[in-house]
Structure 1
């Protein structure tokens, strides 16, 4: 797997994903729900990458059996299509920035228990369009280099580490984090469009980088 794929872990958690992690850390049971959220993210990322690799492996066998060069071309085409879609998403967020509101489910996380936190971490990865795009890119890269799912473990680990950052900051900084996290939560929820645009742009730059 290319090392340039690793930074895509940043886009996996950019947007409502990292906002959810921050919100959970400001809840009544930050450690328990934070750990449950991170576990959900870890399982979903591993599962998503495995599915994405399987899809591209089947496509490669169906349309270009025994021809790695054709599979590489197909993977590049898919990646460029994903970049185009993300560019449209970024433009949409900029145009509608004054009317964009944070998802209502983010507010409900303040009262979340470990089960809901786990479910949120799991679904927020598997159902988020930007994360699906990233995992498809990783899956295509694995097939392109003819390597197994385990080659994506560094990417999965990086995604999990980023998901755990709010919890780690909370544990390391203690009371200072308790004072700072609510302010960070409020900024992220009111400027969600900025985070979404940044995630799209980072993804586009990384995927187009030589």
Structure 2
């Protein structure tokens, strides 16, 4: 597989993200799911991310910010990592606001947010390479709506993540190239990706 330039890879990941957004919107609208008035915030969720292409695309967004805003996100990320490590050492799952969350509650890198951030709210499923299907119920508000639909004889729409994951995996291979198998596996929070800096692909 021919290795892609960062510019070409970023265009492709943006296109995959657009498909995710469309799938999310269709499912959310069909079941009447909105974030308005929610008493929780998904940005407190302890998400870990697993691709170099998304890590690099996150930094593509950071590098487009004014220096003072980028430095503020780096500072917040350092605090997040320290707090998360302390929670994990206590045997607790971290429940800390994402460092990219703005004062108005919106994401400071909305167009560059990662896959899990985009797909978390609605019910979705994925068929793994071994043929097993894994389902995700969506956020707590989504699960409440789903229970109501099922009680009335209905069924919540499900987003099929399989083609999205497949295309992202293929893009990952094309972006990283032959070094992918020898590089460490990515298993980082957004804060860790920011504190570490842009990914090294060699």
TM-score for the superposition, normalised by structure 1: 0.29
TM-score for the superposition, normalised by structure 2: 0.30
Normalized per residue, which structure has more strand? Answer: 2
Normalized per residue, which structure has more helix? Answer: 1
* Greater relative contact order, per chain length (Cα 8 Å cut-off, separation 6+): 1
